[in-house]
Chains A and B, each alone.
Chain A
Amino acid sequence: MTVTVLDRRPAVIDHASASGAAVALRGIGKAFGEHRVLHDIDLDIAGGEFVAIVGRSGCGKSTLLRLIAGLDTPSDGAVTVDDRANGWRDAVRLMFQEPRLLPWMNAAANVEVGLIHAPRHARRGRAAEVLAQVGLADREAARPATLSGGQRQRVALARALASNPRLLALDEPLGALDALTRIEMQELIEGVWRQRRFTAIVVTHDVSEAVRLADRILLLEGGRVAMDVAVDLPRPRRHGNPDAAAIEGWVLDRLLRP
């Protein structure tokens, strides 16, 4: 099988900055027993870039994200972050589809989980600061059970952002939210990313979400990168942009092609 990589990515990414980690994948493969999930993936992600990985379920997109986040090790090849093969896991933060908050701790203490490497005395203040940033300034003492689904995911985002990660990996983070909450969360994520300029990689099955958030969309098919699309649209992005709709249609066509 030949791999079609349409490299339409602009050569220079204007917003790339020192605060985002550059990720390089060389010959990455992953197998679980006999089952090969990823095949020989070569990929470069520039510092500060916002990349979306889309594909059908079972195409290996979550596996790829877990490898980049250091949650799993590849069977073949190597992942390097800023040219380093290891020792970068603390610079990476993950957000999952479920908030995965500790139900026995309040919102602030849950955010402090993301500050485990920070000095103890600095944690409380920092947690309050990040909670305010995600719009939950008054809910510090609230336990997860008393928060709505969207609020819980905001706490999870605050936890991920608390340590100022240089790479934020998001595994279908908005998949379980209702449509309106999802739009709010997309705005929030785009907002903090524009402000902080970390590298962001989001896995999603929702192509319109990918177009809404990312500079670049990778389409994964059968464990290979089948398409690499640049999304060169102005930010902050608004829904209903006709150019976005065109890109979305194009990616969907490719995705649905038998």
Chain B
Amino acid sequence: MATAFPTEIGAPAPVRIGPSHGTLNFRLREVWAYRELLYFFVWRDIKVRYKQTAIGLAWAVLQPFLTMLVFSLFFGKLAKLPTNGLPYPLFYYCALLPWGYFATSLQNATNVMVEQQRLITKIYFPRVVLPISAVLSGLVDFAAAFGVLIGLMAYYRIVPGRAALLLPGFLLLAVVTALGFGLWLSALNAIYRDVRYVVPFLIQFWMFASPVAYSTVLVPQRWRWIYGLNPMAGVIEGFRWALTGQGLAPGPLIGASAVAVVLVLLGGLFYFRRTEGRIADVV
């Protein structure tokens, strides 16, 4: 693909188009140049998602809320899984909030290239803008569901400590996790169409591999860092800890998560860039 982005009037250097050779150049500056288009994609996704639904944004809230009720009943009251002293609803909701964001963003990122097939085959823009927009538009749902969390915390009279200042960091970790895996799935699905059917199963399985329905204290200390290679483990424990002060303080688990997610992100960017050239032909 081009090795420089479009020049403006009078500039002498041309844009050069040629077959790409799997360059390691991520061309992030180009993505920055297209940030307005990214904004428009996110804006469009949000507007369209809620234009005609009667419940609108409330749906983004209902899902984690209802799941929380079910979990509280079955894993909490009936199975009596340990929650480090937190009331069940709060314990689950703190996890379901970032988890819901991750699951939705992952599915959206997987589908986005195929859904926007018409755009991709007619207009040029850095294709990576699409999975990024899928991952960012989930943040609006997140914000709505977050409002309910505030309500829950008020109800249970849990006041967040100074740890809450780290919450944006964990949110960032969640976004980067969604983006890292989203890039892989998005490129894979554009080429191999059956990938999108695997994702719901993947997410189901992943949820049980993450401390959503249970606390990490169930995992023996020695294995925690391997467990932490699942970036969502770090995200969820981090959320719980930042919001309620209970649970695992940042340590080897979250460290492992952060490292894992950076590797996934770099790998995802690389794979995406490498297959980008093919995508318009096969999507």
**A and B together in one complex:** no
Binding site for A on B (CB under 8 A): none
Chain A residues close to B by CB (< 8 Å): none
